[in-house]
Amino acid sequence: MQPEEGQNAGKGLSGFEALGPGSSAAAPTMGMSVALEGDARQAAAAKVAEEQGLVRKAQTGDRTAFEELVRRYDRDVLRLAMNIVHRPEDARDIYQETFLKVYRNLHRFRFECSFYTWLYRIATNVGLDYLRRRTTRREDQAPVPEEAEGGTRDFFDRQPHQNPATNPERQLLGQEISGQLQEAMKRLSPRERMVFEMKHYEGMRLRAIGDALGTSEETVKNSLFRATRKLRASLDGLR
């Protein structure tokens, strides 16, 4: 009888107990992680569905729904506009024209992308049109030769390593060169300037910029390359 009791002694143990103390701690943790991921996906799906519901209501003429969409993204659009033109009055013009176009073309939105992507694409196009109206200079497509290896590091190369907030001298330098940088930005083509602004001021990835501008990631890379080279040439004296 005793051998049978010994053989059957583990039958009453739960699965976690039978696996040992180390495994019993890991399994609940993994389960919790999966549960949290599931909750995050459900929350994201619910947010998308809720926004799509607002868009559909706005498409039927529901003004309250449209005003809610504006409220959600008005800061993003205004920030983009400010980064493009750096003048509050001009930024407000871009902001107003963007949402006017959104309102007039909302019936054309087919939910093939997120509403935010569609809105951002309109905002960037409005910004590009504004920049084109400010300059009649054609975009320079000529390739710029590569710098020789081991060349002198310039202003742009050093920027990621600076932290003006912790260095008053650098902070003062940043204030002094701000005007020079803005003047140099004016000499970029509209598309080059837009890409540079979206990458370095908005912090967008190249693929996202391409989606917003309706172009390829490779085209964005080329525009960013030309913009950076031109700015480096204009700010060559900043050592």
The CATH number that applies at residue 118 is 1.10.1740.10
Do 48 and 98 have their domain in common? yes
Do 122 and 176 have their domain in common? no
pLDDT > 90 fraction of the chain, expressed in percent and rounded: 26
Instruction: Please answer whether residues 238 and 177 qualify as being in contact, where contact means their C-beta atoms are separated by less than 8 angstroms.
Output: yes
Tokens for 162, please give them: 């600076």
Residue 22 is predicted with a pLDDT of 52
Residue 12 is predicted with a pLDDT of 47
Do 43 and 125 have their domain in common? yes
Do 172 and 225 have their domain in common? yes
CATH of the domain at 190: 1.10.10.10
CA distance 80 to 148: 35
Do 121 and 192 have their domain in common? no
DSSP annotation of 154: -
Looking at the domain assignment, is residue 153 inside a domain?
Answer: no
Looking at the domain assignment, is residue 194 inside a domain?
Answer: yes
Residue 57 is predicted with a pLDDT of 95
Question: Once rounded to an integer, what is the mean pLDDT over residues 43-58?
Answer: 89
Question: Once rounded to an integer, what is the mean pLDDT over residues 153-179?
Answer: 50
Residue 101 is predicted with a pLDDT of 94
Confidence category of residue 132, pLDDT binned at 50, 70, 90: confident
Do 107 and 187 have their domain in common? no
* Predicted model pTM: 0.58
Which of 20-29, 170-179, 206-215 is the most confident on average? 206-215
- Within the chain, how many helices (H) and strands (E) appear? 11, 0
Do 45 and 122 have their domain in common? yes
The total number of structural domains in the chain stands at 2
DSSP annotation of 61: T
Lowest mean pLDDT among 19-33, 128-142, 149-163: 149-163
Domain of residue 195 covers 165-234
Residue 143 is predicted with a pLDDT of 42
